[in-house]
């Protein structure tokens, strides 16, 4: 498979920026951070990669020359035997969480050696941050997620389909056979997910059993990591949550639905750990009375989504080959999975230097209950999103939301398996069109 990550375009912009800062790639394990920077390194005359986990002999250099980037670079040159030239070299520091001095040193590259291109990545960085006063404003962040549907199509060498989606809209819907083909591809992606190792296996072999085995290995890898950021007591809570979250997608999250015998505060602490590890994401209730949405959240009301839609199937113990034969009805019959798909797509388009975030809206008044599945920002406006797994479904909650918040939310968006269309102030998009919601 020839992976084509959209983040490579962002990296090219970073390279040519006159206001470039050292770059730190953040994201869960196994989403392709190392591959991304190695691929980007091909654009440079010279690429120097040091891995602080595999090659710990570099760690003393960051401690000895802390705050002295020019001396640090010379020492790295001597140890690696590779020349580092300002302007023509990308210096990539992988597994940077192994050395806090390395992480903190990024600020000094901007201050004292600003023309050198420096990028870093690591696993479980959020836990390293908790112990540091990190130099916000002196480095750039990029969040990397599992490959989204557009990247899945590119991996299948279907740039033509990506282009067709880009040019389609409510005035120019795609031909029905193409529409149905894309819905089938969405269903296939929903089974496989976006973790690069799984998609690579599928593209090269088309063997669903091998894909399922790869998913099993990745799920086990995430579980094995629990001991790196949790106490022995919390590890069991992490395991219970990791298994339970895929059952509760799209629902207002209640800890009692995970295990009513465990105290909520214990599960809450464990859920926060999973979120910081990038294995789960909360969608908080926001009153959505304008922007920013995160200034209006209720921390006690939230939904939880999983790292990857394909991994959901594996954690639930579902058989990939059996699901594949029914894939055309997959999202139509499983509304929670449809919501996971949309949430995962929205996260994948998180802008550089923005924290990934999801929101929804809910009213719980006995005589006027209402809920909008997800709420996001688009073109400096509030955009409510309703997700309908089938063809039908009332939009009563959406209309109520738009009526109450018309100043900040002039239009709504319905995502379903139906073609592009529009009715009054609500646009209707098919599942495959979420690439069009990319921040503008």
What is the predicted pLDDT for the residue at 323?
Answer: 82
Range 235-242 average pLDDT: 96
Q: Report the Cα–Cα distance between both ends of the chain, in Å, rounded.
A: 29
Domains and CATH numbers, the chain: 7-143 (3.40.50.300), 149-437 (no CATH)
What percent of the chain is modeled with pLDDT above 70? 95
User: At 365, is the pLDDT very low, low, confident or very high (cuts 50, 70, 90)?
Assistant: confident
What is the predicted pLDDT for the residue at 440?
Answer: 41
Q: Is the pLDDT of residue 235 over 70?
A: yes
Number of continuous H segments (helices) and E segments (strands) in the chain: 19, 13
Per the CB < 8 A criterion, the answer to whether 270 and 238 are in contact is yes
Q: Is the pLDDT of residue 102 over 60?
A: yes
Left (φ > 0), alpha (ψ -120 to 50) or beta: where does 209 sit? Answer: alpha
DSSP string, 130-190: TTS---TTSSEEEE--S--HHHHHHHTT-HHHHHHHHH-BTTBPPPHHHHHHHHHHHHHHH
Instruction: Give the Cα separation of 34 and 361 in Å (integer).
Output: 37
User: At 352, is the pLDDT very low, low, confident or very high (cuts 50, 70, 90)?
Assistant: confident
User: At 393, is the pLDDT very low, low, confident or very high (cuts 50, 70, 90)?
Assistant: low
38-73: burial string, b at 16+ Cβ within 10 Å, e else? ebbbeebeebbbbbbeeeeebbebbeebbeebeebb
Residue 182, both tokens: 């894309």
Residue 192, both tokens: 């496989």
pTM, two decimals, is 0.94
What is the predicted pLDDT for the residue at 133?
Answer: 66
Residue with tokens 């973790």: 195
Least confident of 100-114, 147-161, 361-375: 361-375
Predicted confidence (pLDDT) per residue in 163-200, tens digit? 999 999 999 999 999 999 999 999 999 999 999 999 99
Range 365-389 average pLDDT: 90
Q: Is the pLDDT of residue 396 over 50?
A: yes
Tell me which residue of 150, 208, 183, 158 sits closest to 338, measured CA to CA: 183
Q: Is the pLDDT of residue 330 over 80?
A: no
Give the pairing type, strands 117-121 and 23-26.
parallel
User: At 332, is the pLDDT very low, low, confident or very high (cuts 50, 70, 90)?
Assistant: low
Predicted confidence (pLDDT) per residue in 55-81, tens digit? 999 999 999 999 999 999 999 999 999
Contacts of 291 (CB under 8 A, 6+ apart): 377, 380, 381, 382, 408
């Amino acid at each position: 498979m020839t992976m084509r990550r959209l983040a490579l375009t962002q990296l090219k912009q970073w390279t040519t920026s006159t206001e470039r800062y050292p770059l730190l790639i953040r994201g869960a394990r196994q989403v392709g951070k190392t591959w991304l920077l190695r691929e980007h390194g091909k654009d440079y005359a010279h690429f120097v990669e040091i891995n602080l986990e595999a090659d710990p002999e570099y760690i003393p250099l960051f401690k000895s020359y802390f705050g002295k980037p020019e001396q640090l670079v010379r020492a790295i040159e001597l140890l690696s035997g590779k020349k580092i030239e300002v302007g023509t070299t990308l210096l990539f520091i992988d597994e940077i969480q192994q050395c806090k001095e390395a992480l903190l040193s990024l600020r000094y590259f901007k201050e004292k050696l600003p023309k050198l291109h420096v990028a870093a990545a690591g696993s479980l960085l959020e836990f390293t941050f908790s112990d540091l006063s990190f130099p916000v404003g002196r480095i750039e962040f990029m969040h990397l997620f599992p490959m989204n549907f557009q990247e899945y199509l590119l991996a299948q060498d279907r740039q033509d389909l990506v282009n067709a989606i880009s040019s389609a809209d409510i005035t120019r819907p795609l031909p029905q056979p193409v529409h149905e083909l894309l819905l089938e591809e969405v269903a296939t992606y929903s089974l496989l997910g976006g973790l690069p190792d799984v998609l690579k296996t599928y593209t090269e072999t088309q063997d669903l059993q091998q894909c399922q085995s790869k998913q099993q290995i990745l799920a086990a890898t995430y579980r094995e990591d629990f001991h790196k950021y949790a106490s022995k007591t919390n590890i069991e809570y992490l395991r219970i949550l990791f298994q339970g979250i895929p059952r509760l997608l799209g629902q207002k999250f209640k800890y009692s639905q995970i295990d009513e015998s465990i105290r909520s505060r214990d599960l809450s602490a464990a859920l926060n750990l999973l979120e910081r590890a990038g294995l789960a994401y909360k969608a908080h209730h926001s009153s959505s009375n304008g922007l920013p949405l995160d200034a209006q959240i209720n921390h006690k009301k939230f939904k939880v989504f999983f790292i990857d839609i394909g991994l959901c199937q594996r954690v639930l113990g579902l058989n990939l080959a059996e699901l594949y034969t029914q894939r055309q009805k997959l999202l139509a019959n499983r509304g929670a999975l449809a919501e996971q798909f949309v949430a995962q797509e929205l996260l994948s388009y998180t802008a550089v230097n923005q924290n990934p975030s999801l929101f929804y809206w809910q009213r719980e008044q006995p005589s006027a209950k209402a809920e909008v599945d997800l709420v996001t920002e688009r073109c400096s406006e509030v955009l409510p999103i309703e997700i309908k797994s089938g063809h039908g479904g009332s939009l009563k909650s959406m209309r109520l939301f738009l009526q109450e918040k018309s100043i900040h939310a002039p239009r709504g968006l319905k995502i379903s398996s139906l073609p592009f269309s529009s009715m009054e102030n609500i646009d209707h998009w098919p599942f495959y069109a979420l690439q069009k919601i990319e921040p503008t």
